[in-house]
Amino acid sequence: MKNTNGGKKVYVGMSGGVDSSVAAALLKEQGYGVVGVHIKMWGDPEIPCTFKEDRYDAMRAAAHLGIPFETWNLTAEYKTAVVEYMIAEYAAGRTPNPDVMCNREIKFGVFLRRALEQGADFVSTGHYVRQEPEFPISNFEFRNKKKHDFKNSSIKNLFKIQNSKLKIAHDLNKDQSYFLWTLTQEQLQHCLFPIGGYTKPEVRAMAKKIGLPNADKPDSQGICFIGEIDMAEFLKKYIPVKSGPVVTTAGKVVGEHEGLSFYTIGQRHGIEIGGGIPYYVAEKNAKTNTLVVSEGPYDAKLFSNELEVIGANWISGKEPKLPLKCMARIRYRQPLQKAQITKHAARNTKKETMSRDMFYAVRFEEPQRAVTPGQSVVFYLGDEMLGGGIIA
């Protein structure tokens, strides 16, 4: 077909799944010069991983599409930026989100930088999110263009580069905007998200129509380097066990835990307390090494109207006018909740993984269950994702 994109080159991160394969197919159809890249992440050598199978599936999809294919070994970068970060956060008593960090540091960090160095104009992934220009250039804006000196680079950039908005995907069940709140305008100038305007069934239908060999491949679940074992079992390989009491919110000692690092707020399974009562983790008291649990899911200690935010990022590149009433979610796929954001003055704290220079408070209209330090809170206005931060 006619090349409608001027020969611009896009490197597509092909995981081996159907979503990124269809993204590559759509971009090729749109006239881009597409290169498929499979990224090798770090994997625990003692845990079975599907890297070889996934790479083979990505390679077969690229061959079917007739596009060049490369494998990039980013295991060292992934281990440092994602795995070691995750372990350090758990050791500090928080519950991090490795998917958010992988997007920030690997897919839209190392992968993007290396692709641009090799001559790419864009990178693309199979994320379900929509990207739209914030200030579309209209005919009206060009009407008097002869009056401008277009040799001036700043004027040219006014028309060439424009801010992008990130919006919720059309498929609400697959929307992945929650994991992309760290993206910046500098990154978004070089990003394409081709499948955000489609539903998952539509993506699979397209894959079958063009004969992709992985059209029926199931979606991946969990984190590759964790494999089939649970998170606590993985973490015990790197974080020492430090036993302590398990106490109910009423002050009754009901058992012993193996270390606060191995539990997360709201957790029910894995506490290993008998008696037939469903216990939920309500608090982790690091000073006394005490795990506080609620008896049942409706204990008031499990709920909170407020949270603090550190390491915030705004997709537009500018802080919105505050206070701001908006919608927010504190976990993936949580229904959006009414909230208000206010800004607090910077405060002196010990150095943490995320900067605390930008300190915000979020108050929800309704109490939120299991507000978890280390997880992400993400903000929305209508269908636009504004940005987010880490729950302090």
| Burial classification of residue 110, based on how many CB atoms lie within 10 Å of its CB (0-12 exposed, 13-18 middle, 19 or more buried) | middle
Nearest-5° angle of CA 210, CA 215, CA 217? Answer: 170
| End-to-end CA separation in angstroms for the chain | 51
| Cβ pair 271, 248 in contact under 8 A | no
CA distances from 364 to 245, 267, 307, 310, 367 (A): 32, 22, 9, 17, 6
The Cα–Cα gap between 220 and 227 comes to 11
The Cα–Cα gap between 90 and 44 comes to 17
The Cα–Cα gap between 336 and 258 comes to 35
DSSP state of 104: I
| Cβ pair 75, 41 in contact under 8 A | yes
Q: Which of 345, 259, 262, 249 is nearest to 297 (CA)?
A: 249
The residues carrying an active-site annotation are 102, 224
SS (H, E, C) 325-387: EEEEECCCCCCCEEEEEEEECCCCCCCCCCCCCCEEEEEEEEEEECCCCCCEEEEEECCEEEE
